[in-house]
Amino acid sequence: MRLSSAALDRFLAILLVVQLASGLLTLRSGVPTTAPLFWLHGLIGGALLVAAAEKLRRSIGPAVRARRWGRLALGALLALLVAAALAGGFA
């Protein structure tokens, strides 16, 4: 099943909110009983990686064809920031 662009955008927004919330909650935890929270945070991070890659796959071609170089540069910068955040989380 392929999500529409709007549905993918909403899915990314939901993933970001859940990732932020679980990340903030993990700052205050650290006992073995909170292990599922860390698992959730990791799983959401993986889902965010897949969804962000799909968003890039869908967006780059049309942006290049329309010669939106400024938007592509901004998108590349944001993609690098997302990649760095996800790499830091998985490292």
* pLDDT per 10-residue tile (average), the chain, 91 residues: 89 93 87 88 91 90 91 88 80 66
| Predicted local confidence at residue 77, as pLDDT | 92
pTM for this model (two decimals): 0.78
Cα 84 to chain centroid, rounded:
11
The pLDDT score that the predictor gives to residue 91 is 66
Dihedral (CA of 11, 87, 22, 42) sign: positive
Amino acid at position 61, single letter: G
| Cα(39)–Cα(49) distance, integer angstroms | 15
Nearest to 60 by CA among 86, 78, 83, 87: 78
What pLDDT does 79 receive? 83
